[in-house]
Structure 1
Amino acid sequence: QTCAPASLSLPHTGAAMSYLSGAILIILAGVLWSTQGLFIRLIPDTGSWAILFWRSAGMLPVLALWIGLASRGSILSEIRAVGWAGVLGGLGLVMAFSGAIYAFQATSVANAVLLFAASPFFAAILGRVLLGEAVSPLTWFAIILAALGILVMVGGGLAGGALDGNIAALASALGFAVFTVTLRWSKLANMLPAVALGGLFSMIAGAIALAILGKVVLIPLPEIAISALMGAVTLTGGMLLYTLGSKVVPAAQATLLSLVEVLLAPFWVWVLLDETVSRGTLTGGAVLLAAVLLNAYGGRIQRVQRARPLSVSRLHPEDI
């Protein structure tokens, strides 16, 4: 349930990070993200809109602190700088965040996280349609392969009564894709203020939905604590770790390393809550993961090809 950050202004660390350190940070980010489904399973009686509200409330202080450190206190200026692109991206995150929470409640955690992995393919299609970006033949093949895997998984959901959860997971992946393409359209150098807007809009959407449904925002304190912890630590903390690590790890390899989220999320609920994985999820998920790996491999090949005019001795270890 993640949006791999594309670009983010970071506070100056004073020392260069090694490739190994960056890879470890990305893996740790995946570990944090993988606990989202477990935490949501721990509060099964809390509605998705209440979780969205309080998780977003937990996100905002951490994001404000990070933006403040990166901009030396110019938080409002940074938020205004993202303009309408940041607003559109933030609205995309509302769909991503709310869809993910509902998916974790309505379908298996394995189904949800595997379907979230379709986000890069939605982004490739939207980038082609809206921005005219070229899509390589290998990526088109990966998109077709991913679609087959999704059909198998969603078909299993139809048989098992979890179709709405699968659709919500796909809507979440589409929301993250909208966010990604919006950033590319506007060429934003810093995406963190747009994420903050997404958190703010999500709080507003959660409050409005609760009011329409006649439900209260105030839920039991333990459930508020769990929801806010997800926002502050597992979601935002993981995003910051990923972004720090991606400074020294190429995007294609970062994508592969972050797949630890997909592997661990079903593991936590299996070990702690005895939630099993269906055959349809295993089959369709394997096809979808193969498509993700193929797409990441294609990204690495393109990176190496762009660097080919340079001397081989100038390639960095992460390019190989």
Structure 2
Amino acid sequence: MTYLSGAFLIILAGVLWSVQGLIIRLIPDAGSWAILFWRSAGMLPVLALWIGMASRRNAVSEIRAVGWAGVLGGLGLVMAFSGAIYAFQATSVANAVLLFAASPFFAAILGRILLGEWVSPLTWFAIVLAAIGILVMVGGGLAGGAMDGNIAALASALGFAIFTVTLRWGKLANMLPAVALGGLFSMLAGAVALGLLGKAVLIPLPEIAISALMGAITLTGGMLLYTVGSKVVSAAQATLLSLIEVLLAPLWVWLLLGETVSRGTLIGGAVLLVAVLLNAYGGRAQRA
């Protein structure tokens, strides 16, 4: 595979991920836990099929081989998946996806604390810059009554950072079995939460279909494309290419649902994106 082919796959993954906020907004009745349950139910068969085809082994054996690192990573994905769904329902899509971009900085801090990984001065500067951008965005959300959605978006970013750090801790070359564990744990978490809240797992059939297809196509499809493309594209460049999700997600809801973007989101998001670009540049320079 050539570099251009890999870059195209990563961009296509970002395009798929960018429509998830719009799709969740189009589900009128189901709550976050029901969407989490059925979206995870849709992603698991696709992941199991892909893992089996790629490894030519039983998917269950591949999942068991990831060990405790995969288990912890899967639990981190439960936080990432559930926080993202709630954030899309509770705050603006622009707020949510921009705050998701804080994940690399959480990963850098956790990697330093838990794995002793060196963090460059440029990355520390980018972390401080990102924190300023996040404070501006969250402050705007507080004024607009969307603080819980902003906190959920940050929890989602932290969950994905935990997933990333556990993969490095376990030195897992293939992240898809850990993603499958995350889907399984998310189904269980959704079912337990619905039971505790006294709500039914069964929701209207059209909403089940939308949630399951979202898991099978946009979430899992994007993950598979990103995994394949990142084999020939460096991590820093892949991070930059995947920013297409951050740029497109607010555009879809603006075009189709008329959702506007607040001034705080624009200012804080711009600062956060500059921090992400600095971090990606620092990672590329370090690898060079």
TM-score bin, normalised by smaller chain = over 0.9
The correspondence for 2:125, drawn from 132, 136, 141, is 141
Q: TM-score, normalised by structure 2?
A: 0.99
Residue aligning to 2:246: 262
Q: How does 1:109-148 map to 2 (within 5 A)?
A: 109-148=93-132
Runs of 4+ in structure 1 deviating by more than 3 angstroms, as ranges, are none
Q: CA deviation at 1:70?
A: 1.5
Gaps of 5+ in 1: 1-16, 305-320
AA of the residue aligned to 1:196: A
Residue aligning to 2:20: 36
Deviations 1:154-199 (A, max 9, x none): 0000000000000000000000000000011111122111110000
Matched, 1:275 2:264: no
Contact 1:44 1:105 in 2 (8 A): no
Task: Give distance in 2, aligned partners of 1:169 and 1:82.
Answer: 27
Residue aligning to 2:148: 164
AA of the residue aligned to 1:108: S
AA of the residue aligned to 1:270: W
Residue aligning to 1:68: 52
Q: CA deviation at 1:67?
A: 0.7
How many corresponding residue pairs? 288
Say which SS state the counterpart of residue 276 (structure 1) adopts.
coil
Q: CA deviation at 1:73?
A: 3.1
Task: Give distance in 2, aligned partners of 1:239 and 1:90.
Answer: 14
Query: What's the RMSD between the two structures over aligned residues?
Result: 0.7
Residue aligning to 1:204: 188
Larger Rg, first or second structure (1 or 2): 1
Task: Give distance in 2, aligned partners of 1:235 and 1:279.
Answer: 29
Matched, 1:300 2:267: no
Matched, 1:47 2:38: no
Contact 1:56 1:200 in 2 (8 A): yes
Residue aligning to 1:242: 226
Deviations 1:91-133 (A, max 9, x none): 0000000000000000000000000000000000000011111
Task: Give distance in 2, aligned partners of 1:248 and 1:71.
Answer: 19
Gaps of 5+ in 2: none
The correspondence for 1:180, drawn from 164, 171, 183, is 164
Q: CA deviation at 1:300?
A: 1.2
Task: Give distance in 2, aligned partners of 1:80 and 1:224.
Answer: 29
Deviations 1:251-286 (A, max 9, x none): 111111110000000000000000000000000000
Residue aligning to 2:6: 22
